[in-house]
Amino acid sequence: MSDTGIEKRKAEHLRLVREDSVLHSKPTLLSDIRLVHQALPELNLSDIDTTASLFGKPLKLPLMITGMTGGTEYAGELNRGLAALAADQGIAFAVGSQRVLWRHEHLLADFAVRDIIGEGVLLGNIGAAQLLHEPMDRIVALVSMIEADGLCLHLNPAQELVQEEGDREFRGVCEKITELNERLDGRLLVKETGAGLSPETLIKLRSSGVDCVDVSGSGGTSWTRVEQQRAVSERSQRLGRSIGDWGVPTAFSIIAARSVLGEQATVIGSGGIRDGLDVARVLAAGGNIAGFARSVLLQFMDHGAEGAAQWVEQLGEELRSVMLLCGARNCNELMHVPRVYTGELKDWLAAYGWPGQGRT
């Protein structure tokens, strides 16, 4: 598609995601993770340590603003604002797809936010489809182009299929991921965009040497719904309606990622994260970090930089409270606190023969 087309599409995405009709109507299943209350935690609130790390850099809170945007004037403003928020709060930040920069170098300032984020974690972003169409050197160079700490590669076949101008070819991506991971010395994070990573996909990623993923599960923003609402053709509208809730729920995808990739892997749990209790459940399920896109974007759009900062602070406050109530002194201890898996999440775990994943 033309680059003007990409810019127009990005602007439409920013407009459409404001509507609640782009949310999955099925849940993340995070509420099926019941963390067990400890009335005698033997901890003071000041004992609670929420620090984490990503790509070797420290974070004050185990949080990340996942890739969203860039490439329009407003998107540049959002990237700069969200990068400043991430720097202030000590959380990680990823830009949206950098594809537009290959043709429009003058838009670099919308993505190059290293001066704003300082020593903080900054990640680049590109779609897996580009691995099939562009030389590997060009993909690798996206990292140095914005002085990033690593690159997020997004997998979004469901969105592409509904998008009228989307890709239809997905064969050959795994081999390219292996090569890209090697070229980046492991500074590769593979993510979905709201349809989750299944155990089967995670096994393929493990075979490609990937040990950093963002599950971006279903239950939050649905990109098949976004594309359905953008669509003009009857075909895309119908497909978008039928697979509007397609995906692997966030809670199950996080448990799967930890189980398949092992203890040493970095797992980001995202897709529909709304509050500090969700963040605690992400960590308990095996995530190192909780990520969010639409929720922080709406805070920023509706309440400005100050409102978004207050929202992140509140998330931290809620997380600290829940950690205390679980008796977890730090994020690592939270991963191992007592919990009960209930409802549909229990069905997903049983289907994969994982009753050992916590107390079901």
Positions in 191-210 near ligand FMN (CB under 6 A) = 191, 193-194
Q: How far is the C-alpha of 87 from the C-alpha of 119, rounded, in Å?
A: 8
Question: Does 152 interact with ligand FMN (rule: CB under 6 A)?
Answer: yes
Residue 90 zone, left/alpha/beta (φ > 0; ψ -120 to 50; rest): left
Q: Exactly one of 271, 286, 287, 358 binds ligand FMN (CB under 6 A); which one?
A: 271
Question: Does 89 interact with ligand FMN (rule: CB under 6 A)?
Answer: no
Question: Does 14 interact with ligand FMN (rule: CB under 6 A)?
Answer: yes
Positions in 298-357 near ligand FMN (CB under 6 A) = none
Query: Of the two residues 125 and 228, which places its CB atom closer to ligand FMN in the complex?
Result: 125
**What single DSSP character describes residue 310?**
H
Angle between the 343-351 and 250-261 helix axes, to the nearest 10 degrees? Answer: 40
By CB under 6 A, the count of residues binding ligand FMN is: 27
In a 10 Å sphere around its CB, with 0-12 CB exposed, 13-18 middle and 19+ buried, how is residue 309 labelled? Answer: middle
* DSSP sequence for 273-308: --SHHHHHHHHHHT-SEEEESHHHHHHHHHHHHHHH
Query: Of the two residues 154 and 354, which places its CB atom closer to ligand FMN in the complex?
Result: 154
Tokens 């998008």 locate to: 163
Q: How far is the C-alpha of 252 from the C-alpha of 33, rounded, in Å?
A: 10
Question: Does 270 interact with ligand FMN (rule: CB under 6 A)?
Answer: yes
CB 358, CB 315: distance < 8 Å? no
Mark the segment that binds ligand FMN (CB under 6 A) among 105-113, 241-249, 286-294, 334-342.
286-294
Q: How far is the C-alpha of 310 from the C-alpha of 22, rounded, in Å?
A: 25
Short-list 145, 185, 166, CA closest to 56: 185
Mark the segment that binds ligand FMN (CB under 6 A) among 139-147, 269-277, 282-290, 329-337.
269-277
Question: Does 297 interact with ligand FMN (rule: CB under 6 A)?
Answer: yes
What is the nearest approach in angstroms of ligand FMN to the Cβ of residue 196? Answer: 10
Site string for ligand FMN, 210-229 (x = CB under 6 A): ------x---xx--------
What is the nearest approach in angstroms of ligand FMN to the Cβ of residue 42? Answer: 35
Q: How far is the C-alpha of 266 from the C-alpha of 59, rounded, in Å?
A: 14
Q: Exactly one of 27, 35, 50, 67 binds ligand FMN (CB under 6 A); which one?
A: 67
What is the nearest approach in angstroms of ligand FMN to the Cβ of residue 250? Answer: 8
Q: Report the interface residues with ligand FMN, using CB under 6 A.
A: 13-14, 17, 66-69, 96-97, 125, 152, 154, 191, 193-194, 216, 220-221, 270-273, 292-295, 297
